Structure 1
Amino acid sequence: MSLTVIIIAITVVISIAAFNNSRLMYQYILNPYTAHRRNEWWRLLTSGFLHGDFGHLFFNMFSLYIFGEGIEAYFHALYGAKADFFYLLLYLLGIIVANLPDTFSKKNNSGYNALGASGGVASVVFAFIMLEPTAKMGFIPLPPIIPAWIFGILYLLYSRYMAQKQYDNIGHTAHMWGALWGVVFMIITFPSIVQIFIQKIADSFQ
């Protein structure tokens, strides 16, 4: 069984359990006010295993499955015996890094809560983009017709815009920072990825 499937199974079980257990939900959801005042920093990670509803849960886990399986295969080729460790580092730190900006900017807002695996999922998606920049991707419900590297740029611009405007309750800041973590992670752990990334894009224009 792949790590991706194990992560999905754990997330689904915990999320569904929390749907009907408000005590469980509020014990592990990210509430920056509580995290700062009670030093409950585990919330930066545990909130990534909670979701608001079935739609939220399905979208994140479906996206993780689509990209996670491929990333695992790449990591086994790149990192060998350390592949599982690096995959967990990418995903789990993706959740934490994605939650950091709001954890500090919202620390005085006791009513602010955040949850969901979006930051971790975004880090996996953008690790894939670094590895396969010319693969075709798309925005649901549109078909995958955009080169991955262009999709990545559009995604970051959209997330930044929506984070500034705050039109909805979606954690666009977390999406953006999770995505950036995926890029940074690949550069740190596999520096050659920068040259490979550029070369693949250049080859696509020939």
Structure 2
Amino acid sequence: MGNLDIITGILIAANVLISYKGFGDFNFFNKYKFHVGSIKGGEQIRLFSSGFLHADTQHLLFNMLTLYFFADVVITLLSPIQFLFVYIGSLLVGSLLSLYFHKNEYSYSAVGASGAVSGVIYSAILLQPGMNLYLFFIPIPIPAYLFGIGYLLYSIYGMKNRIGNIGHDAHFGGAIGGYLITLFLSPWLFQTNLLMIGLLALPIILLFVLKRMGKI
């Protein structure tokens, strides 16, 4: 992991340039951030543009480092163009799920590439579930599929309890996007990783069951 493909480089550059424009231009930031009232008023471009803005340098750096480490898995096992489909599709699904959960909160706003990056992470896990991840606060390797399931379960917990100033729903939506798009692009996974497909689907099913029950 960690090779810089040209597509990954372009996406990182776009995020950096647009985010820094937003850091220094409040009007630009407000015009293109995710904002429920404005989107429902017809400004659907915000569903896409908000994914290239960030709240601060730390937020930007974390997302871009994560993208850098996981993008190569998806590019290698799919292709650069298919990776781009995963990235953009996950960004949009993340924004749409966020809109679905906050549709009656007209003042709700958010920014960040986290939905797109979550989709890339989930795609990489689906394509290579046996890889191990090393997290800086845990000294032992974690199987990728356990991390993916745990990540989404934490996102559900975060959505339910409104933990932190974090768009947990966009993260979750991005992961759903990465999951579905990867399966569409790689139907061979149903022959090789059917059990893993089922396991990774469990948190997604749980989310919509809880939503239907009014628990979220």
TM-score, normalised to structure 1, is 0.87
The 10-residue stretch of structure 1 (88-97 or 186-195) with the greater mean CA deviation from structure 2: 186-195
- Map 1:136-151 onto structure 2 (within 5 A): 136-143=132-139, 145-151=141-147
Tell me what 2:181 maps to.
185
- Map 1:89-108 onto structure 2 (within 5 A): 89-108=85-104
Give the superposed CA RMSD: 1.9
Q: Identity of aligned pairs, percent?
A: 35
2:190 paired with 1:194: yes
Q: In 1, are the aligned partners of 2:36 and 2:107 still within 8 Å (CA)? A: no
Q: In 2, are the aligned partners of 1:138 and 1:151 still within 8 Å (CA)? A: no
The 10-residue stretch of structure 1 (131-140 or 28-37) with the greater mean CA deviation from structure 2: 131-140
The count of aligned residue pairs is 193
Tell me what 1:15 maps to.
19
State the SS of the aligned residue for 1:110.
Answer: coil
Report the Cα distance in structure 2 between the residues aligned to 1:168 and 1:34, rounded to whole angstroms: 24
Q: In 1, are the aligned partners of 2:34 and 2:50 still within 8 Å (CA)? A: yes
Tell me what 1:134 maps to.
130
Deviations, residues 49-99 of structure 1 (Å, cap 9, x unaligned): 0000011000000000111123212223xxxxxx41x22211011111001
Q: Once the 2 structures are TM-superposed, how far is the Cα of residue 139 of structure 1 from its aligned partner?
A: 4.1
User: Cα distance 1:74–1:34, how it changes in 2: closer, same or farther (>3 A)?
Assistant: same
Structure 2 unaligned segments of length 5 or more: list them: 198-216
Deviations, residues 177-202 of structure 1 (Å, cap 9, x unaligned): 1112111111111111133224899x
Picking from 153, 156, 164, the partner of 1:157 is 153
Q: Once the 2 structures are TM-superposed, how far is the Cα of residue 153 of structure 1 from its aligned partner?
A: 0.9
State the SS of the aligned residue for 1:183.
Answer: helix
Report the Cα distance in structure 2 between the residues aligned to 1:94 and 1:144, rounded to whole angstroms: 29
Structure 1 unaligned segments of length 5 or more: list them: 77-82, 202-206
Tell me what 1:26 maps to.
30
User: Cα distance 1:179–1:138, how it changes in 2: closer, same or farther (>3 A)?
Assistant: farther
Tell me what 2:166 maps to.
170
Q: Once the 2 structures are TM-superposed, how far is the Cα of residue 129 of structure 1 from its aligned partner?
A: 0.4
The 10-residue stretch of structure 1 (13-22 or 138-147) with the greater mean CA deviation from structure 2: 138-147
Report the Cα distance in structure 2 between the residues aligned to 1:143 and 1:50, rounded to whole angstroms: 32
Report the Cα distance in structure 2 between the residues aligned to 1:96 and 1:140, rounded to whole angstroms: 30
Q: Once the 2 structures are TM-superposed, how far is the Cα of residue 106 of structure 1 from its aligned partner?
A: 2.4
Tell me what 1:53 maps to.
56
2:73 paired with 1:70: yes
TM-score, normalised to structure 2, is 0.83
User: Cα distance 1:199–1:163, how it changes in 2: closer, same or farther (>3 A)?
Assistant: closer
Q: In 1, are the aligned partners of 2:53 and 2:113 still within 8 Å (CA)? A: yes
